[in-house]
Structure 1
């Protein structure tokens, strides 16, 4: 059998020979086949459908230098393409892989240029059962067209507005994707306006709402398919006879359409939801809404943008964005353990969520040590007073600097906190109560006490510098301090125009915020009041009287707050609508601990300011502002405060519980949540103080309260008429007196005393405006008893 075997593989072989070879080397063969197959599969799977043709090695260098700078990509079908078009690097590196990219639809891309090449098409949708809304929509379209054409610079940017009946259109053409323009040669941006009456029967509105909701939740469609729109806004038509309030259904369907459109457009609410009563105020409300919409349309058509917005602006959900970002509603928060625990956890983290001014609640940023690390007694205030023994030559040679230069950390810190810095030493900022009032969720205590609507109030200061370092101040380390003005002085005209522009800019940023009321937004674009109490010491500014005169010339009331450390400036102050002095302690040692003044003669200055206020009480409405801090100025100080009131005889005494700002500097001063009084403790203190004043024969009484701000007002009997308190101000009469008799004229606070204090604002009634809706930090309604 051995002789039959053949070892010459070049000759004939039997099947048994191959079988024997397979059994002998099958492991090696399998490994080789598997490796080869895997390599081939990997190469095949990564092979692009498009490739760069490799340049032949015979190609000349001279031709390669003429090649384009970018690789030329050719389809595999075009192999006959000339190789001269290929770059030189293709020779060195071989084929390059081309990665695919998802091309976004033209409608969803961001428009980079609006130079007349694009036009804006306004689509006005309406629903109607009785043709009333149809007539309103057509009239609105004609007026809008006339307004847009009246602007010669922008009329070419708009197409004629189109009016569409929701009962006649196909929703898929308008509410799944923006419509396609008929003329493809000119790009068109669409802007939706919806006029929605509310009905309590099944109508086309229900079909629309169902379609919007299903579109948003359809997994086959993007959650914001209408994000390609330039913007949208909704106006609701209702009847208060059938539904007196929004809670009972007034314009409820318009509110729902607005909410779902916010979701589908990706927060492109261009203007607040407008609402009008067909039988009462429809013409005025629609006119305000139309005027605002015209301005927004012109801005959007020119810039391709709805403008700058605040964080959360245009958020589809009707949650309270203020509280979601950590902003307090000015109720005193007493959950000490949770607060301290959170502070420990975030001790080394930075934050830019800084609280608003007088009515403060949010945690400001902290880069210093934890409160638990602070030890020892309260720090003693540093004295910065300038004395005659100082080197005069050195003072002359010193260069006058700006208080807050743009390159300084102070400027950076303040702007991050939401301030608009005007010039070198002034600032403006809208407070959380402005945002709250715009949404119908209540104004601050000034509305309950004095009739100041928060959304029409500008909070500013012409001086960011202060001469105190109060333990409860929320601006430690962010604003300069000093006892004398040693900085560049900006002219009052520049400050006045700058703070107005800054305020209006911040108001405009609110127009896309959910819940903002169109009528209040329109009112907010007219400043009527100015609170000079933002930060620092306003009376410190050398031209404060000129600044006040500019406010009054435009019929803007003035509420000025000072810290009782500048008696000379206080004595020289001219007419003010209402003049505040902060009274933070009843004796010298307590004032030293809580205000930490920089002046050595702080107590003497404090007493002189009280005497000046006593003299001004028949010229100005004077106010003592008491900020109660448990452990500092509450216990056993009622008698002392009664002495101060007797000395100054102010028209009013405001008592407010401190709001803890959570700063490490406050903790270093010994302040914690334990120092925040409950409202019950504030009312107990107020009752005791009022009793002491009456025992001394002083005519004062408990006039009003605002429990939401933890604030109570004690008023002089001068403002009680026929047993009714009149703490509010007749602002029209105030400006008439200024015009008739001048800032130094002979007139007194009773001459511009306003109407009776509303019953809901008086002592014992809580002080929350019943027209507004009170909510908690989650945006949920709170029942006000």
Structure 2
């Protein structure tokens, strides 16, 4: 047979197709059917493995075939041999179903249930080691009843690898245990291992490979420093400098988990006593953490004090623990024309206390209901609302004093340390709408008490609890001094001047008795619009009356009183104050507002002083708060007098008083508060035994004697509890800033305090 050529091949294939086409078509159909069956079977298998049956609940159990296939798939995926030999790199495929409800297995595993204290120390001579062992023994003895706190473990900083403890927290022995670092550090004037430790903390903070706060897993930390107050009396000269630096670095590395303020002790004086006090506070902080009460993160609305604002304004290279939170822009408050009729500049010409038609009696309501906008606004400003009409708030000077940055003018004038003082009020309502009020015009107003009356016990207890709660929240604030923090947990003074009118409270005398019962002094401020209440007032440590103007027209423009007979009420209060001058320490409080009550009004104020004869006259420049309420009343920064202008006014007032034969002189000043004190020379300028019989101003109060007189039940007057001579640094011409504290600027840097004013030792 001859081979086929290229042209005969197609004809041969055509003959084969015609001869066997039936078999070929049948075979192709069978092949296609097999392919379709294989594709269908593979799709059914995937659905059985990955999803529940169609139209079934999410948690329905898979069929037996699906469970077998799922088990095979899991075995396949979990086999190391299979993974290494057959898997390909690529994205993982998620299998399973979505859980819609939490289960016990979903519970967080980072809840702190147990605290493990770790005590780190450094010592050259062994004294700090002895302190560490004493601290360990103290904690072990006092926490035996606290099952949530384990036995402290001691570590010598020279015997550990820093990477094991100060790059990340050590791994706990079991879940839900968190470590608490306690560091005891002396300071030396030579190079020691502490320099390497500080360098390690520095490098850890700036290492880009390490998280910003690598020690944030700690439950908290606290540092105590030992220094030599004789050879290195200040931090700049080396006193506890290493402890201060470590405290700052630990704040950065832990994400601000300072559980208790930095403690310091002088090894030549009181190191042991200070360490014991500090340890008690650290122990209490650990108990709070173990019981889920937290560390404390600051108090919103506690004031924008220069002394306390450095944290929010320091650059990244300054001493700041963490980036400051972004400030939220305030939205303008939209008010209708009838939302606050009492916010007009002039008083409403209606006497709410006397009307021709007797109103129908209505059930009293809460002054500040919990769900009201007033309650919300005051709470945002930092107030703790007590019951239905009282409040308490941390003064910005309290925070300043806790950090050793100075107390308010009451310390210079009367010996009241701000960190021992509580600022509160039993009545949030007021009968004035003063143009300079920094309470943002959010407190209620009224001329008569028409609300519920909370019992004095509830008010007193709520004040203390609210104050202490806010103090505890300040323990993590940088710079808070441990010894002052401890002292602040015992209230010694109460300024009843927060907002509103304290004597408006119908049971004010019962509240005063509760305060005095715990030996808490009372400074009460009223606005001279409630003469009957003022006349019925019992003993207070010092009684203030706000004198906002020297004549009727000025008082209408500045105080904006609601009473139609406001001037008559004001003058009656002057007469009542005069009748109490030998029973109470009485004070005129003048707030100077340029353009309102400064120009040519010294003579008018002198007439009022001659009528009431107060023990003291405080003159203070207005503080502008920048609120919409102030702007609506026509108040701006141009109305804030300079200290030189306040000084000039005081000198003019002193001359006007002397021309009337009144023996008032300038006794003290607090330049930082723009405040100057005049006192009755005939009563408070007398020989001083401490100065060899030389005459000195005695504006301070002997609080112990005050309570002795009060408890004796006999009649007594202001002269019976006059205190020690006014401090030299507080006298007129000395500035009035306590030299034991440190004045700082907005960046937290020391600020030089210059002596201002004129005269030394009084005029």
Whether these two folds match at TM > 0.5 is: yes
Give the aligned partner of residue 175 of structure 1. Answer: 166
Work out the CA distance in 1 between the residues paired with 2:514 and 2:334.
39
Unaligned stretches of 5+ in structure 1? 1-5, 12-51, 82-94, 100-108, 314-318, 328-345, 352-364, 370-376
Work out the CA distance in 2 between the residues paired with 1:458 and 1:440.
18
1:270 equivalent to 2:259? Answer yes
Equivalent residue for 2:48, pick from 49, 55, 59: 55
Equivalent residue for 1:757, pick from 722, 726, 738: 726
Work out the CA distance in 2 between the residues paired with 1:496 and 1:302.
27
Work out the CA distance in 1 between the residues paired with 2:70 and 2:267.
66
Q: Deviations over 1:218-244 (max 9, x none)?
A: 111112111111100000011101111
Give the aligned partner of residue 191 of structure 1. Answer: 180
Equivalent residue for 1:380, pick from 325, 346, 350: 346
Give the aligned partner of residue 703 of structure 2. Answer: 731
Equivalent residue for 1:395, pick from 360, 363, 369: 360
Matches within 5 A, 1:542-581: 542-581=506-545
Give the aligned partner of residue 322 of structure 1. Answer: 309
Question: SS at 2:679's partner residue?
Answer: strand
Equivalent residue for 2:213, pick from 213, 224, 233: 224
Q: Deviations over 1:581-640 (max 9, x none)?
A: 000100111111110111111111101101111111111000000000001001111110
Give the aligned partner of residue 350 of structure 1. Answer: 330
Provide the TM-score with structure 1 as the length reference: 0.79
Pair 297,382 (structure 1): closer, same or farther in 2 beyond 3 Å: same
Matches within 5 A, 1:480-499: 480-499=444-463
Give the aligned partner of residue 466 of structure 1. Answer: 430
Give the aligned partner of residue 209 of structure 1. Answer: 198
Give the aligned partner of residue 343 of structure 1. Answer: none
Work out the CA distance in 1 between the residues paired with 2:453 and 2:118.
52
Q: Deviations over 1:477-532 (max 9, x none)?
A: 41111110000000000000001000000000000000000001001101000000
Work out the CA distance in 1 between the residues paired with 2:521 and 2:573.
23
Provide the TM-score with structure 2 as the length reference: 0.82
Q: Deviations over 1:654-695 (max 9, x none)?
A: 000001111222222211111110110000000000011111
Work out the CA distance in 2 between the residues paired with 1:56 and 1:217.
50
Work out the CA distance in 2 between the residues paired with 1:110 and 1:198.
42
Q: Deviations over 1:63-83 (max 9, x none)?
A: 9987359x99979964879xx
Question: SS at 2:618's partner residue?
Answer: strand
Work out the CA distance in 1 between the residues paired with 2:120 and 2:282.
15
Pair 320,716 (structure 1): closer, same or farther in 2 beyond 3 Å: closer
CA displacement at 1:367 relative to structure 2: 5.2
Pair 112,544 (structure 1): closer, same or farther in 2 beyond 3 Å: farther
Give the aligned partner of residue 60 of structure 2. Answer: 67
Give the aligned partner of residue 291 of structure 2. Answer: 302
Equivalent residue for 1:164, pick from 155, 163, 168: 155
Work out the CA distance in 1 between the residues paired with 2:210 and 2:9.
68
Work out the CA distance in 1 between the residues paired with 2:724 and 2:55.
94
Matches within 5 A, 1:275-290: 275-290=264-279
Work out the CA distance in 2 between the residues paired with 1:190 and 1:649.
62
Pair 178,579 (structure 1): closer, same or farther in 2 beyond 3 Å: same
Equivalent residue for 2:684, pick from 719, 722, 729: 719
CA displacement at 1:777 relative to structure 2: 1.8
Give the aligned partner of residue 649 of structure 1. Answer: 613
Is 1:378–1:670's contact at 8 Å kept on the other side of the alignment? no
What is the RMSD of the two structures over their aligned residues, measured on CA atoms?
3.3
Work out the CA distance in 2 between the residues paired with 1:651 and 1:58.
87
Work out the CA distance in 2 between the residues paired with 1:58 and 1:606.
83
Question: SS at 2:47's partner residue?
Answer: coil
Work out the CA distance in 2 between the residues paired with 1:57 and 1:759.
85
Question: SS at 2:143's partner residue?
Answer: helix
CA displacement at 1:350 relative to structure 2: 1.9
Give the aligned partner of residue 242 of structure 2. Answer: 253
Question: SS at 2:191's partner residue?
Answer: coil
Question: SS at 2:583's partner residue?
Answer: coil
Pair 217,612 (structure 1): closer, same or farther in 2 beyond 3 Å: same
Work out the CA distance in 2 between the residues paired with 1:132 and 1:9.
110
Matches within 5 A, 1:527-606: 527-606=491-570
